[in-house]
Structure 1
Amino acid sequence: MWVTWRDAIQEALYGDDGFYRRERPDQHFRTSVHASPSFARALLELACRVDAALGRPPVIDFVDVGSGDGLLAARILAAAPPDLAVRLRVTAVDLSSRPTGLDERIAWAATPPAAVEGLVVANEWLDNIPLDVVEQTPSGPRLVLVDPATGDERLGPTPDAADLAWLKRWWPMCSPGCRAEIGRPRDEAWASVLVRLSRGMAVAVDYAHQRDRRPPLGTLTGYRGGSIVPAVPDGTCDITAHVALDACAAAGEAAGAASTTLTTQRDALRELGIRGERPSLELAGHDPTGYLRALSRASEEAELIDPAGLGGFGWLSQSTNQAEPVS
């Protein structure tokens, strides 16, 4: 059975017996959330800044889109200072079932709230939004079709007009054999978040690339058990592709974003206080246990901002209604 990659990924990840209906992300790949509690601490600092920019409203939202096991939402709620905690409304958004033991104060939903005032975080969510793959031929772009059972491919029809327009603007292909991944579904998904944001900020963190540095053969990849595997959309592995965050940024602006920042995780987290600096050796002399804790935290923070690893992730931050966080 030959289908488009978008349809194959949708069924493989989110069908009745799809990968994300059965599995938790931490069982198959390491995200920033699982690498260190410092990631949640940094986002809590950002939430506090957004709260201040909004004038500390009676209720402030923290929405975790693509929550997975709910760990980020749980850490945010647990670490929030008392003056914020009493006003904080935490929502974890995911298609999987609610994890056992998750704090009852955390709402669990399949879609974001209809109206959000506060901070929305989508960490490694957009890369799992299904999308089509195209290949350039001498006669123009053609959709790539796939057999979900084997991963075998063949060329299909020409993309529709909307997808051709997206390719022309965001991922033009020059030579036969080049491939692209049509990010229009990601743009639409991100816009659907921004239209819900009445006041505040939305942040997308993901594997990313920009128009002047698109990979010529695309980025479609499979993950299983912590290892890269062939991208076979049979439901046994995660299927992911890097995100054209610049295109998502434009979609967010069209949906109402008043300001946009595109940067790296390294720069974003450093601005939020994540340094990865080793503690002074003097601490080891009078507090060996404290020194080891500080050393462990520094190592975790260094992983979060490593430019060759998690620190190289793209960060897209967009604000609405003058809700730019104060420093």
Structure 2
Amino acid sequence: MLPSPAPDALAHSQRVTAHLQALIREAGGWIPFARFMEAALYAPGLGYYAAGAMKFGAAGDFVTAPELTPLFGRTLAHAIAPVLANSPEGDKPRGDILELGAGSGKLALDVLGELERLDALPARYAILEVSADLRARQQARIAQERPDLARRVAWLDALPAAFEGVILGNEVFDALPVDVVHWTTSGPQAHGVVEQGEGFAWQDRPIDDPALRARAATLDLAPGYLSEIGLAADHLIAALAHSLQRGLILLIDYGFSAAEYYHPQRHMGTLRAHYRHHALDDPFYLPGLCDLTAHVDFSALARAGTEAGLDLAGYASQANFLLNAGLTELLMQTPPTDAAAFLPQSNAVQRLVSPAEMGDLFKVIALTKGEFPQLAGFARGDRRHTL
């Protein structure tokens, strides 16, 4: 039994539903799923990420790694510190950090706090946040918890024209709109959305987007196969590559290489709705109250990055990356004899690295521009050969 929404939340979902139905009518009765997903998540004042509901933690719909333990952000700080300090001129100021979609602000706090301990603080920690609600929450949290570091944090409305340093993205690409494609005996079809009663239903149409049609044609999938293609992810990688003059793009998310993503056994795709810690197969359930996500095709990210002039510097499971970057050593800074402090952190670390939890499903990919030493996080278990 799913938790029932409060009356005000249900009324909000009904407003989002009406907005989505209006979009369908304006488009002639059908829209591609990417358009539906974009509006359901990001429509100003209505979408899941644009409205004011709690999203992270026990009171929200899902828990991210930074919410589990500060050790996640602290380990990332150790992983990126050498990149921030590296400069061909030697005396050049440290690079900056740009975080994409900073969630609750917890990752920024943990990364900055550890970089401070390492005497490796960047001059600026920029956050690109499309949600006004989340931006306000981040600003309030950082100002309250670390007012001494708040002056280093700046919020951006768009990617900078030129950036040097580290671009971080934790669970960002899974929330980008995706097209759903249905492979049929007549070839790939766009699996889009129509109105049905008070809600929505799926309906196939010929693919009219040349880029989507070309990508679908490269996948030799059997009739009946359903899956996602993330053109928005390609566009974002290209934009990041254009902005980055020198530095590292480090992305952490759940997903697979293309061979795993489009495996015959994954014939119903990866699209899910997340509601109050439940994963649902119905993306039309309570629009505006559910997070819509699809797993990330890391082969596509790697290809988009190299085509945009970036170097693929590493690809590994989250477990391998964090362990290589010093997660265990940071955990052991809390004495195991202090059970009250150690056990919660140990349990959180287990969730981060266990193959049955986040350890193998989540991956880390690194794309660079410029020359850098090998990143410690990929010292063992680098899977670049699988992409």
Q: Please give the TM-score of this superposition, normalised by the length of structure 2.
A: 0.76
Name the amino acid aligned to 1:212: A
Query: Would you say 1:211 and 2:258 are equivalent positions?
Result: yes
> Are 2:230 and 1:190 equivalent residues in the alignment?
no
Distance, in Å, in 2 between the alignment partners of 1:179 and 1:67 is 31
The equivalent of 1:38 in structure 2 is 71
Segments of 5+ residues of structure 2 without an aligned counterpart are 1-23, 25-29, 144-149, 377-387
Residues 126-167 of structure 1, C-alpha deviations (whole Å, 9 max, x = no match)? 111111101011110110111376241111122433212222
Indicate which of 174, 178, 184 corresponds to 1:137. 184
- Check conservation: 2:43, 2:50, Cα contact below 8 A: yes
Conserved 8 A contact 2:271-2:283: yes
SS of corresponding position for 1:75: helix
Match of 1:202 in 2: 249
Unaligned runs of 5+ in 1: none
Using the alignment, how far apart are the partners of 2:329 and 2:206 within structure 1? Answer: 50
1:155 maps to what in 2?
Answer: 204
Matched residue SS, 2:72: helix
Match of 1:57 among 68, 86, 92: 92
Letter in 2 for 1:45: H
The one-character-per-residue Cα deviations of 1:83-142 (angstroms, maximum 9, x if unpaired) are 322x43101111112222433321112333322221111111111111110101111011
Larger RCO, structures 1/2 (Cα 8 Å, 6+ apart): 1
Is the CA contact 2:258–2:299 (under 8 Å) kept in the aligned structure 1?
A: yes
The DSSP-based 3-state class of the residue aligned with 2:126 is strand
CA drift at 1:236: 2.2
Does the aligned pair in 2 maintain the 1:199–1:321 contact within 8 Å? yes
Could you say if the C-alpha distance between residues 275 and 79 of structure 1 is closer, same or farther in structure 2, counting changes exceeding 3 Å? closer
CA 1:276 to 1:296, structure 2 compared with 1: closer, same or farther past 3 Å?
farther
Q: Identify the range of structure 1 (11-20 vs 220-229) with the bigger mean alpha-carbon deviation.
A: 220-229
Q: Secondary structure at the match of 1:231?
A: coil
Q: Measure, in 1, the Cα distance between the counterparts of 2:255 and 2:155.
A: 27
| Equivalenced residues, count | 318
- Contact kept in structure 2, 1:133 and 1:143, CA below 8 Å: yes
Contact 2:258 2:298 in 1 (8 A): no
Q: Which range is displaced more, 221-230 or 137-146?
A: 221-230
Aligned equivalent of 1:7: 35
Per-residue CA shift, 1:271-321, capped at 9, x if unaligned? 1012399969xx66xxx4x34323332222121111222112121111111
Q: What is the deviation of 1:256?
A: 1.8
Deviations 1:235-287 (A, max 9, x none): 2211110111111111111112133312110111111012399969xx66xxx
| Structure 2 residue aligned with 1:88 | 123
Aligned mate of 1:102, from 134, 142, 149: 142
Q: Which residue of 1 aligns with 2:343?
A: 295
Deviates more, 1:251-260 or 1:41-50: 251-260
Q: Deviations over 1:200-254 (max 9, x none)?
A: 1111111112221222221110011221132117222111101111111111111
> Aligned equivalents of 1:304 and 1:60: distance in 2?
28
State the distance in 2 between where 1:194 and 1:12 align: 28
2:78–2:115: 8 Å Cα contact kept in structure 1?
no
Which residue type is aligned with residue 60 of structure 1? Answer: G
Give the counterpart of 1:247 among 281, 287, 300: 300
* Preserved contact between residue 195 and residue 255 of structure 1 (Cα < 8 Å): yes
Q: Distance in 2 between matches of 1:115 and 1:194?
A: 10
Structure 1 stretches of 4+ with a deviation exceeding 4 A read: 276-280
Segment of structure 1 superposing worse, 26-35 or 157-166 = 157-166
Identity %: 28
- TM-score, normalised via structure 1 length: 0.89
Show the counterpart of 2:47. Answer: 18
1:176 and 1:276 map into 2 onto residues whose CA distance is 50
- Deviation sequence 1:29-63 (CA, Å, 0-9, x none): 11111111111011110121212333473142111
